[in-house]
Structure 1
Amino acid sequence: MLDEAELSTQLRTISEAGSAQLVLDVLESNLRRIGATHVLITGLPMPKRTIDSLVQRIRWADTRSGTHENVSLSANDSALFLGLASNRASVWTVTAGDMEHSRLLAAVGEGAQVVIIPVTELHPFQAFVYCAGTSLKTDKCTLAALEVLTDAAFAKLQDMGVVTAQRPGALSIRERKVLELTAFGKTASEIAELLDISQRTVHAHLQNASVKLNATNKTHTVVEALRYGQIRV
């Protein structure tokens, strides 16, 4: 566990880092300190988009193969959505059922622990740090320190232009506003009046958002917008 002085030193190193690699090295080294054998630092893609350009670092070998080669990462891997359940760091124990639906979880094996740390400072961009191992040290103080380091690392990466708040396929500002008002129960007529636009334009924004979020109806569009961090209520 990092004490206050060590955490301060690590944060200063991140703040003064001259390269993204150093920022990621600091973050990874602290994940290794708690026993992580697998590390993934990545943004979460929007629906129907690939994840490749959002991955900052992956050290996730398949323990079953006995090689050091990273698993093939899919944007639809169910493990990537574990972090959406909370805005705080959490711990997940891998089950046999998890392994059937996730290459990432299958690669670390049943009974392994996964720590999921969401990035909370880059809304509407969503990013997560995942690490896994069979004997992680995951007390509350350690998780809190990792949250602080993770937010600091991504803030630095944003300052360096390595990550931006806008993901490919993200909703426009006006689409997000229309969906936020829809989530609060406003009708198309009321939204049109509030935003000083026509009802036809309101429906167009809803339709565009639905396509981007791969949603089937208005309610589903709102749910997906919430899930992908595009709106807040």
Structure 2
Amino acid sequence: MADPMETQSKAAAIAEAQTGKHVLDIVEAQLRRLGATHILVTGLPMPNRPIDGLVHRFRWADERAGGIERSDLDTEDGALMLGLMRNRAFVWDVTVGDMEHSELFASLGGETRVVVVPVTETHPFQAVVMGGGAHLEAGSVELSNLELICNTAFRRLIDLGVLSTQRPGDLSARERRVLELTALGKTASDIAGLLDISQRTVHAHLQNASAKLNASNKTHTVVEALRYGQIRL
């Protein structure tokens, strides 16, 4: 079982680290202790936006013939989408079906396990830390400790200026507020009165948010805004 004092020590080391490399080295070492042979630490892009510039560590050898490079990452890769599924760390047993929808999974070279750690404490910025390996093992305590380390790491990367919490395609503050009120059941008339703007402006904000989130209607826009961390209820 993981030693909580050791985890606190690592979190403290991250908080005192002076370079992004040092921070990422600590995260990678923790993943490798759990049996990970493949490592990915990356921000998650908004819909229809590239992942370039958001990847901070990519140690993901391709076990098949050929290779997978950082530049090959697809924002719609099924493995990356796991980072948007939940708010807590979990272990995913990769199946043959998963490999059909993910180059990252396929490159592992066979059925294996992946630990997925959604980074949730850098709102509205979203990130995910992943480690894959045939012999990976992580219980509830190890997952909780890993969450602490990964969230601490991303906060430190922000403090060091290694990454910005602003992503291309993020909603504006007013677009977020309009969507939050919409999610709470407020009508355009209600929102216009609360924010002292016209109903036409309310609809414009909703349309802009829908376009940024690649959503098909108002309900879909709210769902996607929640999924991509743009609003919270």
- What residue identity is the alignment partner of 1:90? F
For 1:17-36, list aligned pairs within 5 A. 17-36=17-36
Give the superposition deviation at 1:70.
5.6
Question: With structure 1 as the length reference, what TM-score do the two structures score?
Answer: 0.95
Give the superposition deviation at 1:34.
0.8
**Structure 1 unaligned residues grouped into runs of 5+:** none
Q: What is the DSSP-based 3-state SS (H/G/I as helix, E as strand, rest coil) of the residue aligned with 2:132?
A: strand
Q: Is the 8 A contact 2:68 2:107 kept in 1?
A: no
Q: What is the DSSP-based 3-state SS (H/G/I as helix, E as strand, rest coil) of the residue aligned with 1:42?
A: strand
Q: What is the aligned-residue identity percentage?
A: 61
Residue aligning to 2:148: 148
Indicate the larger mover: 194-203 or 217-226.
217-226
Flag the 1:67–1:220 CA change in 2: closer, same or farther, 3 A.
Answer: closer
CA distance in 1, matches of 2:93, 2:110: 8
Structure 1 residue 38 corresponds to structure 2 residue 38:
yes
CA distance in 1, matches of 2:166, 2:71: 27
- Hey, which bits of structure 1, 4+ residues long, moved more than 3 A? 66-71
Structure 1 residue 96 corresponds to structure 2 residue 96:
yes
**Structure 2 unaligned residues grouped into runs of 5+:** none
- What residue identity is the alignment partner of 1:119? V
Question: With structure 2 as the length reference, what TM-score do the two structures score?
Answer: 0.95
CA distance in 1, matches of 2:68, 2:196: 57
Q: What is the DSSP-based 3-state SS (H/G/I as helix, E as strand, rest coil) of the residue aligned with 1:80?
A: helix
Residue aligning to 1:200: 200
Indicate the larger mover: 60-69 or 132-141.
60-69
Give the superposition deviation at 1:69.
5.6
CA distance in 2, matches of 1:76, 1:199: 35
- What residue identity is the alignment partner of 1:65? A
Superposed CA deviations along residues 75-127 of structure 1, whole A, max 9, x for unmatched, are: 11121111222211001111111111110111113421010001111111111
Aligned residues: 233
Q: Is the 8 A contact 1:44 1:51 kept in 2?
A: yes
Q: Once superposed, what is the RMSD of the aligned Cα atoms?
A: 1.5
Residue aligning to 1:61: 61
Flag the 1:69–1:224 CA change in 2: closer, same or farther, 3 A.
Answer: closer
- What residue identity is the alignment partner of 2:191? I
CA distance in 2, matches of 1:57, 1:199: 45
Q: What is the DSSP-based 3-state SS (H/G/I as helix, E as strand, rest coil) of the residue aligned with 1:117?
A: strand
Higher normalized contact order (CA 8 Å, seq sep 6+, divided by chain length): 2
Flag the 1:220–1:2 CA change in 2: closer, same or farther, 3 A.
Answer: same
Residue aligning to 1:220: 220
Residue aligning to 1:7: 7
